[in-house]
Structure 1
Amino acid sequence: MERIIEEIREDLTRRIAVAADRLADRTLAEDPAYAALLGRTELRERIHHALRQGVEGLVRTSRGLPVDLADARATGTLRAEQGLPLTSLLRAYRRGGRLLWQTLTEAVASYDRAALPRLLPGAPVLWDVLDQMTDAVSESYRRTEAARADRDRERRAALLDALLDGAAATDGPTASEAAARLGLPERGRFAVVVVAAPDDPSRPAERPGATGAPRVLWRVRADGETGLVVLGHHPLESVRDLLAPLAVRAGVSPVVEAPDQLAGAHRLAALALRTAPASGGPRTALLDEGLPAALVAAQAELAGRLRRVVLGPVLALPPEDRRLLLTTLGTWLDCRGSTTSAAQRLYCHRNTVSNRMRRLEQLTGRSLADPRHVVELTLAHAAVVQGAAAQSPTPPCPPTPAGTVRRSPRPRG
């Protein structure tokens, strides 16, 4: 094989130059990615060099030497850094391989048609060389692309940190600069969602991404995930639907209008998360829907004091009595002070609820007819719920009086 190639070396060199011209023209005409990246002169030189490398690989293999793949690896790295699709790169290599074999056979036939059978044993050798070159290009490309993706993720994470955490380093981007690099508008409607770390760390991370939903830029950390939500025309409540597929607890900030307000929104979203129950099923807490509970969560020391001062006598009861009164109070508050609605939710007679609420008034010294006392009870109950290690299930009510029809509970809103 080496001998016949040396015999046709001069003609083969001329034909390879012509083949490089043809392949460069075809590539630029049929592949927009190459046409947008390289000029004809540069592309033609790279193709010419790769074709000559294929011939030299064939010669080296016939001598028992390894193929020199340094140039193929360098090409894979360069094209990955330039952003050329791998499919375009591999297509050019495959076309080059076929064109090289065609050029080689034409050169041998022109030299001595009777020598063509001498070329046939070199066919599998040449394809093996071309496979090695293609594999080297692919491996180098993918390795470079993975490294570039890691760098992009790190840069993106740093930009999100600048927006969500604020207090950027003196040499770091400002909020407006970070927003611009992330493709965010200078003014708009934004929110921040903080998702608690899953109970099962091995659970694969999920990403809601329904068509037509708001865009979310996620920042994943060890203690949970934070999402920057670009609401656009979507209402804030749409974030709850966005998070519905995730079996997690989440807190959502109010809407803000500028990137430099996102750090404050992040703090409020984390506060909203603290108002979501730790058990009882997934729940997304919007800050503005639970401001009293958020106020309690923001002041841990005062929350403890509030529990003791307002509900201390209730907390001192035996566990079952304590649980019964606190559950009834919470249900009554959820029903906006409606004894009838609370009874329906608790599967008991309204008189049962009234009796429990009167007992609670006696124990706490607070009157449900006094709005100021209702505020105190609301905040104290929120403090108890947040301070509990786990939410207790709603206990059944005592049997209703004889002759009383037990009502079906209303569906929860």
Structure 2
Amino acid sequence: MERIIEEIREDLSRRIAVAADRLADRTLTEDPAYAALLGRAELRERIHHHLRQAVEGLVRSSRGLPVELADARATGALRAEQGLPLASLLRTYRRGGRVLWQTLTEAVAAHDRAALPRLLPGATALWDVLDQMTDAVAESYRRTEAARADRDRERRAALLDVLLDGAADSGGVTAAQAAARLGLPERGRFAVVVVGSGGEGLSAGPGAGPTAGPAAGQGHAPAPRVLWRVRGDGEIGLVELGHHPLESVRELLAPLGLRAGVSPVVGEAAELARAHRLAALALRTAPESGGPRTALLDERLPAALVAAEAELAGRLRRVVLGPVLALPVEDRRTLLTTLGTWLACQGSTTSAAQRLYCHRNTVSNRLRRLEQLTGRSLTDPRHVVELALAHAAVVQHAAAQHAAAGRLAAGEPPTPPAARAGARVSPTPAGTARRSPRRPA
């Protein structure tokens, strides 16, 4: 094979130059991705170089030497960085292989048609060389694309942190700049949703990926755009509501059964850090089980007030419901459940009895006993407020203890006091090794 190529090298070089012209024209005509990226002169030069490299690879292979693949790898990395689709790149490489074989046969036939049979054994060697070059360009492309995607995720995570934590990053990027780079308007209708740790299933639900755009619901109008930030203690979603009502966030999450807290609507990117803090507070009021588990802050302000003041909440539990909490476990559970159900039923003893599957008189007797133990009257609005807040404090305290026990059983460190009190905790670095519960963008 080496001898044949040496005999036709000068003619082959001329023919390869013509073939590169034809292939460049065809590529620019048929592939918009190439046409948008490269001019004809540059593309023709790269094709010409690729074809000559393949010929040299064939010569080296005939000598028992490895094929030089550095150029192919460099091309794969470059095109990945430029955003050229891999399918376009590989299509041009395959076409180049076919053009090269045709050019070889034409050059040999022009030199000595009787020598064509000597070329046939080189077909396998040529396609092996072309396969090696194609594999090298594809592998380099995929590796570079993966690294590029990681960088993009890191950059986007850092920009989200600027908005959610309210401090410029090390590069001095402000909230307005971060919003612009994320494709968000500086002013609009935004909310923040915080999903509790341990949640699974967001990947299968409606809505956007970790950093994705609008998503279509189940045959309905597109859902709000959500940009998700994965952290070690859960998920944070920055919601661009647009014209959607805040309730649409609950509708988005409801099918997934996850505990989540949702902030009020804010009108500027600079207000998103405050919205994040309020969403985290709302999460602390979300029910552990039963009914909707997505808490909108404005619907749970009394419970949020209790959650925001851990020390006062503890005092409220002890002062208002201390005698009830001192009862044996079953008695305590019965009275607290009855009080919570009565409050949820807006003070209707009949409705509470239906929910508790007992007689109305049973509920009345339990409530009278609770009044005797606490010294509060359920007919006095001030006492009802105290009992409602104290009950919320008991429920939140029990939920916190349950969560702490779960973390301890899983071998996780206990939650720092500052975090339990709702203080801001430093964000988990963008590269946290935790499976995102959202589908990749």
Q: With structure 1 as the length reference, what TM-score do the two structures score?
A: 0.91
2:160 paired residue number: 160
> Aligned letter for 1:352?
T
Residue pairs, 1:14-413, within 5 angstroms: 14-169=14-169, 171-198=171-198, 206=204, 208-209=206-207, 211=216, 212-280=222-290, 283-388=293-398, 389-390=401-402
Does the 8 Å CA contact 2:76/2:141 hold for their aligned counterparts? yes
Which digits, 9 at most, give the CA deviation of each residue in 1:359-382, with x for residues without a partner?
111111111121111110110000
Q: CA 1:204 to 1:59, structure 2 compared with 1: closer, same or farther past 3 Å?
A: farther
Structure 2 Cα separation of the partners of residues 261 and 175 of structure 1: 9
Post-superposition offset of 1:83: 0.6
Shift of residue 246 of structure 1? 2.8
For structure 1, the 5+ residue unaligned runs are 392-413
**What is the aligned length?**
389
Give the SS at the match of 1:244.
helix
**C-alpha separation in 1, matches of 2:199 and 2:226:** 23
Rounded to whole Å, the distance in 1 between the matches of 2:199 and 2:44 is 57
Measure, in 2, the Cα distance between the counterparts of 1:169 and 1:78. 29
User: Judging changes above 3 Å, is the alpha-carbon distance between structure 1 residues 307 and 358 closer, same or farther for their aligned structure 2 residues?
Assistant: same
Q: Partner amino acid for 1:249?
A: R
Question: Please, which moves more after superposition, 306-315 or 345-354?
Answer: 345-354
Give the AA of the match of 2:165.
Answer: D
CA contact (8 A) 1:28 1:40 kept: yes
Structure with greater contact order relative to length (CA < 8 Å, sep ≥ 6): 2
Query: Displacement, 1:240?
Result: 1.5
TM-score relative to the length of structure 2: 0.86
Q: Secondary structure at the match of 2:267?
A: coil
Change (3 A) 1:140 1:383: same
Distance 1:237 1:282, change over 3 A: closer
**Aligned AA (1:64):** G
- Aligned residues with identical type, % of pairs: 84
Separation of aligned partners in 1, 2:202 and 2:227 = 18
Contact 1:86 1:138 in 2 (8 A): yes
Q: Which residue of 2 aligns with 1:6?
A: 6
How many angstroms apart in 2 are the aligned matches of 1:85 and 1:95?
16
Amino acid at match of 1:80: A
Deviation of the 1:232 alpha carbon: 1.3
Moved more, 282-291 or 157-166: 282-291
SS state at 1:188 partner: strand
1:247 offset after TM fit, Å?
4.0
Deviation readout 1:38-66 (Å, 9 max, x if unpaired): 00110000000000001000000000000
CA–CA separation in structure 2 for the residues paired with 1:97 and 1:16: 12
4+ runs deviating over 4 angstroms: 203-207, 279-282
Q: Deviations over 1:131-167 (max 9, x none)?
A: 0000000000000000000000000000000000112
